[in-house]
With several copies, the nearest count.
Chain A
């Protein structure tokens, strides 16, 4: 069997790009959830280049009632936002989020990865367990890696599902991110008089921000 598969791999060339487009289209259409490029590759015949097919499809769907959007590492077909008014039937009642939840979500999105203590410092109040739980339940936030500071606190970051829900290609595309960053409002600036801790945090934070959403990288 293995032998046969190998033969298939070498004997048959990847399908023509038009055919690959059809295949990628079918895979994306069939799924409600965004599909990773890796999964697409796994389902296409060997040697296919879904990146090209995806690029072509994105263009083809640009003016249509359904658009091809990138969500993090994934791709998904979504109805065009201007046609939302037709969809009352499909629209789901989104629970109105409390001000605390909305603010906490925004802080996590713009400052990720961010610790609970940092969220509390920014908001000036403690973050209730319920708020974090709610955002976790919505699958909008997830635990990030632990911070390398005393106590090794957990951090929070936004999820792929968050990006999907708000129609963001990546966390770099968060509205106003660039302005906030250049205004220094995303810096972790500790209160004066606590220099030792702050230095360490600053250095680390810098690294993380560069990694997660370097605005300068966005073309």
Chain B
């Protein structure tokens, strides 16, 4: 892999037999056929009729530079990357020919040459396997898939879900919905002001002198405390109403004492 300098020297000293090269003219005619400078280098390297691992990079550089020179003389415009490669190869050539400068750092000429050799070998390897790949039996050319697809039927199944709780709650909901009714106050124990007024108006005409308010409570409203309270409150409110309208008079001897009333129309 490593292209050592002695190899290069040897190749250089032996000179380049012109008949070993593909003619530069030939290459220039085919210029459009090259996929870049690396491809051209690979083609040039083949003229050395050597294993890629043993090619002389120096010789290759010379060949390439000669090619570029020829193209220039023919006023063929080379793409920039060909010229970049030419410059790099000229540099490489000088590094390979001149004794190494101890002050200069960076890769040696041999290292650079080795890398170029590696690149060429790798590109060649890729081309070889690409050819092998394309030579394989191919689907639709050498072997075949099933001619027609048997339709795979798509079935959408719906999985209905309900839990026991859902079921029970649904039943409970149905069985209890009749039990709901709009909200109303239960009025069993309510003696309204209207009721009291009506009763008082009917009774007051017959009263003579001062009478305790409790005697005006309606029948049947003295059985429970709730009913007494409701009836008393409404009856009292009714007497206030009647006193206001001048139908009767009220009196109370002292705080929390009995409330007495009499008709305004009666004397006494």
Contact = CB atoms under 8 A, between A and B. Distances in A.
**Chains A, B in direct contact (C-beta < 8 Å):** yes
B220 to A, nearest CB: 20
Nearest to B34: A125
Interface string B221-258: 00000000000000000000000000000000000000
Q: How large is the interface on B (under 10, 10 to 19, 20 to 34, 35 or more residues)?
A: 35 or more
Interface in A1-28: 1-2, 26
Interface stretch (B16-24, B163-171, B191-199): B163-171
B179 interface: yes
Given A123-B36, A124-B35, A125-B81, A102 B134 contact: yes
A148 interface: no
Contact of A2 (B81, B111, B149, B159): B159
Interface in A119-135: 121-125, 134
B189 to A, nearest CB: 13
A176 B179 contact: no
B212 interface: no
Interface stretch (A47-55, A56-64, A87-95, A149-157): A87-95
B140 interface: yes
Contacts of B9: none
A93 B159 contact: yes
Interface string A176-189: 11001001111011
A159 to B, nearest CB: 13
Contact of B115 (A33, A177, A183, A191): A191
B184 to A, nearest CB: 10
Contact of B150 (A30, A123, A168): A30
A2 B157 CA distance: 12
Interface in B140-162: 140-162
B37 A124 contact: yes
A75 interface: no
Contacts of B170: 99, 102-103, 105-106
A164 B126 contact: no
A96 interface: yes
B35 A123 contact: yes
Given A103-B130, A167-B136, A30 B144 contact: yes
Q: How large is the interface on A (under 10, 10 to 19, 20 to 34, 35 or more residues)?
A: 35 or more
Given A93-B159, A95-B160, A180-B172, A175 B133 contact: yes
Contact of B137 (A77, A94, A167, A184): A167
Interface in B37-54: 37-39
Nearest to B180: A188
A30 to B, nearest CB: 4
Nearest to A105: B167
Contacts of A92: 140-141, 157-159
A109 to B, nearest CB: 7
Contacts of B127: 103, 106
Interface of A: 1-2, 26, 29-33, 76-81, 84, 87-97, 99-103, 105-107, 109-110, 121-125, 134, 138, 164-168, 174-177, 180, 183-186, 188-194, 197, 201
5 contacts: A94-B138, A95-B158, A124-B36, A124-B119, A176-B129
- The 7 A-B residue pairs with the shortest CB-CB distance, nearest first, are A124-B38, A125-B36, A192-B107, A106-B130, A30-B150, A106-B171, A30-B144
Interface of B: 1, 35-39, 81, 106-107, 111-112, 114-115, 118-119, 121-123, 125-130, 132-134, 136-164, 166-181
